[in-house]
Each structure stands twice: as structure tokens, then as C-alpha cells.
Amino acid sequence: MQTTISSPVGPLAVTVADDGAVTRIGFGTGAVSDDPRLQTVVAQLREYFAGERTNFDLALRPDGGSPFELRVWQALLEIPYGETVSYGQIAARIGHPGKARAVGRANGRNPIAIVCPCHRVIGSDGSLTGYGGGLENKRTLLDLEAGMLSLAMDTA
């Protein structure tokens, strides 16, 4: 089941499996549903954008992904709120030093935006690089986590 929620970084299409596990959160619109299995993820996203949540407590089951991508996505979940790491650091953490570009590709294929925080991965020189939701949204999310801004979220 799927619903679309408005957020400070644009509409987010949220998809959960029948058991309530989140399989996808992407930028853009999709169907709209008020199925109760969506309520937890929607509530937690709202709390995150309000600056009230620093950790998500959701069952995740990414839609697709190679074994390498799954390892990268797991490593993303270990990046603390408000911190950033480089693609090279992720590569080293998962036992593939020197594969920063492959980590970048896997990061770009992350199907669960925001909750699986690919926005916390930056270039080795500290620059913001690639983000499926756009670099402006990446900056917005990092600023939110740094406590530099508070984002209001529509209830739509």
C-alpha cells in the first residue's frame, strides 16, 4: 500500500508491505491511502521534520538491491543523526576500501530516502554531491539535523 505525504522537501511517496515494513520512500507523488499500516511511518516522518525525532523505529525491507547495495544501505542506517561520512568511509566500513564510486551508485539507488539516510553521505572533500531528491533538499535535511532550521510540515 502507498500514500503520498507533503513534506518540507516536497511530496514523498511512502510504500509499505502488507506486514507494515517500509519498502520505499521516494521523492514524488503516488497513490493516497489512509490505511492504518501507513500511520506509523507517516507519524515518524512528521516528527523528524518537526525536529522531534532523531531515530526511526520502523521495520525496513528495501525494494530490491544487490548484496553489495544492501550492505551499503545497512551502513547508512548506522550514520548518527546530524553527522556525515564520505563515500570512501562507507566503502571502508563495509570492507571494500577503494570502492567509493560503487558506494555512490548504491547510495543513489537507495529506495528508502530519509529513513535510510543517504543524505548524510558527502564527498571526501566535504562537498555535497549527488542526491536523488536534489542537492537543495540534501542541504535542507543536513541543516535540519544540525539544528540550523526548523521545518513545518503540512498535515496533508
Q: What is the pLDDT of residues 82-108, one digit of tens each?
A: 999 999 999 999 999 999 999 999 999
Is the pTM above the cut of 0.75? yes
Residues paired with 120 in a beta bridge:
none
pLDDT at 147: 84
Residue 136 has pLDDT above 60, yes or no: yes
The mean pLDDT of the chain is 92
What is the separation, in whole angstroms, between the first and last Cα of the chain?
Answer: 18
pLDDT at 149: 60
Residue 10 has pLDDT above 80, yes or no: yes
CA 23-37-81 angle, to 5 degrees, is 55
Joined together, the cell numbers standing for residue 76 give 547508512
Joined together, the cell numbers standing for residue 32 give 493516497
Residues with catalytic function: 118
Ordered domains of the chain (ranges, CATH): 2-49 (no CATH), 67-145 (1.10.10.10)
Half-sphere exposure of 61 (CA within 13 A, CB side): 8
Contact 17, 45 (CB under 8 A): no
